[in-house]
Amino acid sequence: MMIPLADLVTILPELIVVSVACLLLALDPITPSNRKDLLAWMSVAALAVCFIVTAGSMGDRVYAFSDLVVVDGYASFWKLLLYVVSGMTILLSIGYLKEERIDLAEFYGFVLLSLTGMMIMVSGADLLVIYLGIELMSISLYVLAGFKRFEARSIESSAKYFILGAFSSGLLLYGISLIFGAAGSTRLVEIAAAVDARGLDDSLILIALMLVIVGFGFKVAAVPFHMWTPDVYQGAPTSVTAFMAVASKAASFGAFLRVMLEGFGGMKPNWSGLILGVCILTLILGNLVAIVQTNVKRMLAYSSIAHAGYALIGLVVAGWAGTGVSAKGVSSMMLYLAVYSFMTLGAFSMVAILRRGANEGEDLDDFTGLAKRHKGAAFLMLLFMVSLAGIPPTAGFIGKFYLFMAAVNAGLTWLAVVGLIFAAVSAFYYLRIVMVMYMREPSPDQEGETRLALSPTATVVLALAAAGVVIFGIYPWPLVSLTASAALP
């Protein structure tokens, strides 16, 4: 059976990314070690082409492959964000992989394969298509998490991620099978029709809904499905940790929103309260446990869990309110995850370039007196920490402001207050890093051992992350307008 040309054009960005990924894996064994960087730049060039193609079709709503795939403004927004995040990850990794002695071009191939899965997730109009995207993303991330093959901690993180990820995928797939039994289809449109026809009290659909929420809850690292996050983030190579914390979370939230609104939109009274409980638990555990962490990567892992809680406020609003306010909840969540991407990537980039001897400087003590030794690096870390805490005039403040205002407009003022309280709690562990950098003197051994492995490409990543934090903090309107126009109704 011939595939219509129009369908292939619709998924042209996915075809470009997966083709380049396969090409990189084929070229890696025959590329001289001193030419490996060319393969990284090939990846960046492919992402630039995809960015142009996707931006050019922004706003159109096109279905392909018998309505299994949809490309609309919502999917295009997530793809544009994922291109930027993936490109920054690759640029950061060029120097980082050399420092860690894992300079293998297959790394970039797996990043692109994972990105392909994420693109499929946000464009899926069918639960099985979304599931296939999740698996492609996840399997690639399992490999990347264990990329430091000579380090037991990295292998352990990959194994934990694989085992728990397979378990959550099984639950999600079981939920999809129950949905198929109830609706006779896995397409979101037909699931919505079946929900409307069978009513809100159908036990089969309710069980399937809970299993789907559990499956996506694992992917976004929401409590109580977060248990994999700290160990995996700490053990994985830092550039991989940054990619997981930002790209996989953004893609998972993008798919999660579409499934809940377009597939289970008729069951908002059932799932909005459940999501609300998960949201509050995530805010509480993520922020409180982050306080006691002394490893910065582990602290940022719990911080990532907490930020999933903030993003869930947007999903709660989308399920709690009417159509107009619901769209504000969606757009505020999209805005928050966009600014979260810049500040989190920037923070992990600082951890990646800080070295103590031959190892990464990921402990809190490694940042002691950093302002005395590297003023520019300390200032950038200050900027990212302040933004993560939501202090104006940074982008983190803008993201939280729009989320909390969406909650207020939906009549959930108390939820906005809860979010505000835990934002104040988070300031403790973020500003603790600032205090250590600026108010403590480095020990004599730190003076000689601590250095910055700052490659030209890592400098570009830090500059882009800092620019995103500052520009969207001072002038957020372009991003606000883009998310408002791309949000699902």
| Interval 370-419: pLDDT, tens | 888 888 889 999 999 999 999 999 999 999 999 999 999 888 999 999 99
Distance CA 80, CA 87 (A): 11
Mean pLDDT of 302-313: 94
Asked if residue 126 has pLDDT above 90, the reply is: yes
Distance, in Å, from the CA atom of 383 to the CA atom of 471, rounded to the nearest integer, reads 12
Tell whether the model's pLDDT for residue 261 goes beyond 80.
yes
Rounded mean pLDDT, 333-357: 90
What is the pairing mode between strands 450-452 and 359-360? Answer: unpaired
Q: Which residues pair with 70 in a beta bridge?
A: 63
- Taking residues 317-328, what's their average pLDDT? 75
Instruction: Identify the three-state secondary structure at position 62.
Output: strand
Residue owning tokens 């619901």: 326
In a 3-state reduction of DSSP, which class is residue 489?
coil
Flag whether pLDDT at 446 surpasses 70.
no
Is the model's pLDDT at 319 over the cut of 90? no
Residue 450 in this model has a pLDDT that exceeds 90: no
pLDDT score for 106 = 87
- Residue in the block written with tokens 């973020």: 430
Q: Report whether 126 contacts 66 (CB < 8 A).
A: no
Which residue did the predictor score with more confidence, 428 or 445? 428
Mean pLDDT (the chain, rounded): 89
CB 237 within 8 A of CB 147: yes
Is 447's pLDDT higher than 70?
no
Higher pLDDT, 198 or 232: 232
Mean pLDDT value across residues 180-191: 90
Query: What residue type is assigned to position 473 of the chain?
Result: G
pLDDT at position 460: 94
What are 267's two structure tokens?
């069951």
CB 175 within 8 A of CB 268: no
Return the minimum-mean-pLDDT range out of 106-120, 197-211, 215-229: 197-211
pLDDT at residue 440, rounded to an integer: 82
Instruction: Identify the pLDDT of residue 324.
Output: 60
Q: Are 216 and 109 in contact (CB under 8 A)?
A: no
What single DSSP character describes residue 88? H
Q: Which two tokens stand for residue 5?
A: 């040309």
pLDDT interval class at 7 (50, 70, 90): confident
Cα torsion angle, 354, 357, 359, 361, sign: negative
Find the angle CA(150)-CA(227)-CA(432) to the nearest 5 degrees.
85
CA–CA dist 264, 259 (Å, integer): 7
Residues 6+ away with beta carbon under 8 Å from 48: 83, 87
Report the distance separating Cα 389 and Cα 203, nearest Å.
41
- Peptide linkage before 29 cis (omega within 30 of 0): no
